[in-house]
Structure 1
């Protein structure tokens, strides 16, 4: 076993669920998956809630999933860390938040709170915004402006209005200002399409041509046009307070990947060359958690991950390869490596460009073929491969059942290509397959409405070696299982367990 090449394939956003309604996987034709489940050892992994370091019942996501897979232990991330700080009364004692808020108060400037207004808990949580407002009030801040981004992706398509009502009640209580709204499609683009970010950015600095009188009325009009939360056209309120020189900003998203580009618009970075059309000199720019590559003030430090699987593979003097398309490249690299931007000495990374599209429902195949091409071309040159297929998640997020079915069927065709290779080279290669969280198995709710968010469904774990049995477990058990299979001693930091039952 120790001399065999290992392929770890992570299917993004495909959970296990028996019910067929709205279940793109159950409704799709997938002969290769059927063969894998029938002929190879397989088990079930938990991928949500406390099993991956999230609050009980909280849906999993790609960041958390890859962190847990790579770390080989339960990783407590932004949502749990900040929730605990609020519960323990430590949130309002945070030194970074205190410094910035006191600076705003002393200089009589404006504090801007911007981020995703959502109870989804994937990129942000609205309770963190409310905690910031409470803290601002308790410290006596007079000028606080809020800029919200619509979700509609990790929650229902049209779900912002109840959250908006709660926010407006608190703003009225404290006499604070709601200044702008934007769909996350614009504010949180991560595909380097800065023209989208620019539209949101202009509303934040009060330079947008789209000026409105009332956000609730505006959102309802957007709904009438078939434009839902994710795609709300950026707009600024007529009487809003907008970011200007010497103001301070707190970006209350805790997840970094969709926060970097907009952050760059304000404070620059070495990550991108893009320069916004109008520059504003912000005195303090705070991110609740670290946004890798962005030189912000960081309110809460993430859990330090020592000896993730990539580091263990490196220490064993093995060659490793990471493959993903643009949408999930950070997940097989940065997140898989424990939130560290590091390239190991014997590591190769191949980024396959994602198709640039407003909706992946129009291109359900995405770049799966090209990813498979890379794998089959490179497998002989490396010992350990981590790869990601984005189709079920990215197409599942559209809520388009037919497109998601097509995505899974196309993915199945690519798995057939890998299976054919594995079959011919079974003495030399072992294939492990799992997923990071659920999504595509629930693309409709019980009323037949589109469901676009992640799920709490468990996920598959398959091994192509018929000489083993697999026990059930959690995502944190994947790395220990693979290391056990490779006869590499797992580091003491990996408290996940091997799910291997050797025959």
Structure 2
């Protein structure tokens, strides 16, 4: 939360640190698409008020989170390269402050939402105010690990080869969390990574069940790293297949890699090697985040086509399928007026795009053409994603782990 960031700055002043620089990555993805100034303006005012008695705190650089720095799963290291040149080397379009930067970039890039805004550097008299130098301390202010790992590697790895860093400042680098417990990255951190044990992947592995996991790069970690409790490596009996994502804006290719993921899943099903298979179609989330309504409808149509092919292969294999989502996104592409519940409008009369996740309940669909209607699912007051592990175990003929929430499977 931004209050944590404020507390860090306040404590830095109390500890006698003379200069603090914030490198701000704009969201517009999990918050309204052009809400950056709602955060930047009051935050710069907070920093200005705090900057007294020899203490100087300012935003030094930034850009959209989908444009610089915050790549994940090795999808597009060029984003991290650009971020390094902006934050560390101070290279980029210069502005007097972050408010002026956001306003200026919006003027020169009309229609661009916050997550896609280009980089900016804050400068005084042509000199960047916040390059990162030898002896500095760098705190990566992010609790979630997937988009923190690559820039952390750039700061910590001596033999780093993903891009030319030009120079590697000797800094004390720390994360709010240790983002990868297996890789021990970063070495310094505030909060230890959660010890997540007895996941579905681990439990099934111990039972000798062969498992197949597949997605494209943009969601590959969701069916592997996150699925297995923030674990980088596979459990015994797991096979992972990654389909490389296209490096283009998602609204320009909303079908993404749904067809190729389906190809891989169908081939794995036909191989007869696996008792349980999982995949993630990224379209609804990644295209939903763009706020582009037409692209989102195409994205969902692409997933519909993919599911039709995949479910036919499930039938041919004599299997069943569970279809669900971890949250909503493309289900609500416009912001809703809180009073009327109608789509909210911009000043020009256009609908205000919604780029954030929705809070709507997600479905859990049991696809079953083998039991003759003997299998079903029950709805409970607390039914949610945590019930899927036990439900899957029961479908496979196994008991759930004692620590898991109950199964939703019913039989007639």
Q: TM-score range by the shorter chain?
A: 0.7 to 0.9
The aligned counterpart of 1:440 is 330
Matches within 5 A, 1:263-302: 263-268=152-157, 273-292=161-180, 293=183, 294-302=185-193
Which one of the candidate residues 61, 64, 79 is aligned to 1:180? 61
**Structure 1 residues without counterparts, runs of 5 or longer:** 1-124
Which secondary structure does the structure 1 equivalent of 2:324 belong to?
strand
Residue number among 155, 158, 183 corresponding to 2:34 in the alignment:
158
Aligned residues: 374
Change over 3 Å in CA distance of 1:378–1:177 after alignment to 2: same
SS at match of 2:221: helix
Distance between the aligned counterparts of 1:415 and 1:493, measured in 2? Answer: 32
Work out the CA distance in 1 between the residues paired with 2:262 and 2:232: 25
Distance 1:158 1:449 in 2: 10
SS at 1:459 equivalent: coil
**1:365 paired to 2:255:** yes
| Counterpart for residue 305 of structure 2 | 413
Instruction: Determine the structure 1 residue equivalent to 2:120.
Output: 235
Distance 1:424 1:202 in 2: 52
The 1:131–1:418 alpha-carbon spacing in structure 2 relative to 1, beyond 3 Å, is same
Aligned to 2:375: 468
Alpha carbons of structure 1 residues 307 and 209: separation in structure 2 relative to 1, 3 Å: closer
Q: Given the superposition, is the C-alpha separation of residues 422 and 274 from structure 1 closer, same or farther in structure 2, using an over 3 Å criterion?
A: closer
Q: Which structure has more helix as a fraction of its residues?
A: 1
Per-residue Cα deviation, 1:69-123 (whole angstroms, up to 9, x for no partner) = xxxxxxxxxxxxxxxxxxxxxxxxxxxxxxxxxxxxxxxxxxxxxxxxxxxxxxx
Gaps of 5+ in 2: 52-56, 336-342, 345-350
Instruction: Tell me if the contact between 1:322 and 1:385 (Cα under 8 Å) persists in the aligned partners.
Output: yes
Aligned 8 A contact 1:150 1:181 in 2: yes
Aligned equivalent of 2:339 = none
Q: Sort the Cα spacing of 1:291 and 1:193 in 2 relative to 1 into closer, same or farther, 3 A.
A: same
Q: Equivalents in 2 of 1:296, 1:331: separation in Å? A: 24
Pairwise CA distance, 1:209: 4.1
1:325 paired residue among 216, 219, 225? 216
- Given that 1:309 and 1:337 are in contact with CA atoms closer than 8 Å, whether structure 2 keeps it comes out as yes
Which residue pairs with 2:22 in the alignment?
146
1:416-449 Cα deviation digits (max 9, x unpaired): 1122223344xx3111111111100011122211
Per-residue deviation, 1:500:
1.6
**Contact conserved, 2:177 with 2:190, CA < 8 A, in 1?**
yes
Q: For the Cα contact (< 8 Å) 1:192–1:261, is it kept in 2?
A: no
Output one character per residue of 1:384-403: Cα deviation in whole Å (capped at 9) or x when no partner: 11111111111111111111
- Maintained 8 Å contact 2:291/2:354: yes
Is the contact made by 1:266 and 1:279 (CA closer than 8 Å) also made in structure 2?
no
Whole-angstrom distance in 2 between the partners of 1:327 and 1:382: 24
Per the alignment, residue 422 of structure 1 pairs with 314
Query: Could you tell me whether the CA contact under 8 Å between 1:306 and 1:493 is conserved in 2?
Result: no
CA contact (8 A) 2:25 2:63 kept: yes
Task: Please identify runs of 4+ aligned residues in structure 1 that moved more than 6 A.
Answer: none
Contact 1:320–1:346 (CA<8 Å) still a contact in 2? yes
Which residue of the partner structure matches residue 200 of structure 1?
A: 83
The alpha carbon displacement at 1:138 in A equals 3.1
**TM-superposed deviation, 1:192:** 4.1
- Residues 212-234 of structure 1 show CA distances to partners (whole Å, capped at 9, x for unaligned) of 22321221121122233112221
Which of 256, 262, 268 is equivalent to 2:145?
256
State how far apart, in whole Å, the 2-side matches of 1:390 and 1:249 are. 32
The 1-side partners of 2:120 and 2:314 are apart by 53
Q: How has the CA–CA distance of structure 1 residues 131 and 467 changed in structure 2, closer, same or farther, with 3 Å as cutoff? A: farther
* Higher RCO (CA-CA < 8 Å; seq separation 6+): 1
Question: SS of the residue aligned with 2:222?
Answer: helix
Q: For the aligned residues, what is the CA RMSD?
A: 1.8
Query: Which residue pairs with 1:189 in the alignment?
Result: 71
**Matched residue SS, 1:321:** strand
